[in-house]
Amino acid sequence: MDACEIAVRLQPRARANEIVRERDGVLVVRVTAPPLDGRANEALCRLIAKRARVGVRSVSVIRGAGARAKVVRVEGLGLEQLRAALGFAVGPG
């Protein structure tokens, strides 16, 4: 089964849950949840799962759980499929 990892910069306590843009290969994401008890990470995983049309359990934060810079793993999709689902063109490399 395919799986991929994507770098994310998370901004908690935002006005809306949204995937803002990609900057230097890092996905910039905002969530309304506060960074307490893993709630912002949960909101991030739910948002990516919804946009990528995979189950929430298929999305996990594998590095940076306590930081804004994170690495998120998505099971069931290749990187090209994930980027397309999130609305980003596949870049070089």
Q: Is the pTM of this model over 0.85?
A: yes
| CB contact at 8 A, 27 and 13 | no
Residue 52 CA to residue 62 CA, distance in Å, equals 18
Per-residue pLDDT tens digits for 52-77:
999 999 999 999 999 999 999 999 99
Please give the order of strands across the beta sheet that includes 26-30: 18-23, 26-30, 3-11, 69-75, 59-63
Q: Is the pLDDT of residue 5 over 90?
A: yes
Kindly report, residue by residue over 21-43, the tens digit of the pLDDT: 999 989 999 999 999 999 999 99
Query: How high is the pLDDT of residue 29?
Result: 97
Q: Which fold has domain 3-85?
A: Conserved Hypothetical Protein Mth637; Chain: A; (3.30.1200)
Evaluated on CA atoms 80, 68, 44, 16, the torsion sign reads: negative
Domain residue ranges in the chain = 3-85
